[in-house]
Amino acid sequence: AVAEEGIDRLRDVADTVITIPNDRLRGIATKNTTMIEMFKKADEILLHSVKGITDLIMMPGLVNLDFADVKTTMSKAGMAIMGIGIASGDNRAILAAENAISHPLLEDISISGARGVLMNITSSSSLTMEEMTEASERIFNEVGENAEIIWGAVVDDSLGDEMCVTVIATGIGSDTEPIVSEGLEEVPLRGRVRDVTPADLQNVVDYDEPTFIRVKEAAGESTGATYRGYKGMVIDNDDLDIPTFLRKKAD
């Protein structure tokens, strides 16, 4: 009771609280494991969690995540969980994503209904667009369409055939509802990962068109949310016939 009271008071002043229940520590240790060794395992898990977050910020990636992304996700109210899944071989993307959200310490805890999800995919240069889409969709299907999902990708050839998926889900069990101004119709939230996904971009790419035209078309199809790793540009094609120095002078 004292521990639960302390956690409740901590939630009042912290953006995110990640707890490791003692009962679940027993599931990853032998019967004869001492209490000190058990708590060391908890420390190791916290170490991996903190390292996973710092790696997301510090490691250069193919699709970069930064501190602002971590802050956006971790500032969601409610409980938070973190999982790391590793898989290789066929279907490694789906398996790694499933392992990340089914860690022994997360038993009976689902990320369904989470308000914020930060996902990072680490793999060798053999990583395919299809695998990125499979992992993203597996997480999206689990949390639901109201989650704000931010994802990144890091290429690390030292992993060989292995793929690592890191997931941080926050806002679990939060009762906070979106604020809707009086007189305005409530618009359902949508996960950012579903506005423009890798598969969507792959489907609309037409290499017979100049790059700047494809970029404008892709930006025009966006619903206003940001797809991580893709920066939309708005270009007025009609102005391209005007010399650059005249356009700058007009601006």
The stretch 53-62 carries a mean pLDDT of 74
110 and 219 housed in the same domain: no
Tell whether 8 is covered by a domain.
yes
Q: What tokens does 177 get? A: 């509802």
The more confidently predicted of residues 162 and 215 is 162
Other beta carbons within 10 angstroms of residue 136's beta carbon come to 25
Integer Cα distance of 212 and 238 in angstroms = 13
pLDDT above 60 (res 117)? yes
Residue 32 lies in a domain: yes
pTM of the model: 0.57
Contacts of 58 (CB under 8 A, 6+ apart): none
Q: Are residues 199 and 150 in the same domain?
A: no
Instruction: Kindly write down the DSSP assignment for every residue of 86-113, as one continuous string.
Output: EE-STTHHHHHHHHHT--GGGTT---TT
Do 188 and 212 fall within a single domain?
Answer: no
Question: Which pair of structure tokens corresponds to residue 124?
Answer: 């060798």
Residue 124 lies inside a defined structural domain of this protein: yes
- What contacts 224, CB < 8 A, 6 or more positions away? 195
Q: Residue 172 pLDDT more than 60?
A: yes
In which band, very low, low, confident or very high, does the pLDDT at 134 lie, cut at 50, 70 and 90? very high
Quote the tokens at residue 88.
Answer: 């290789």
114 and 169 inside one domain: yes
42, pLDDT greater than 70: yes
d(CA 38, CA 24): 11
- Helices 67-74, 35-58: axis angle to 10 degrees equals 130
User: Do 138 and 244 have their domain in common?
Assistant: no
Same domain, 45 and 57: yes
179 found inside a domain: no
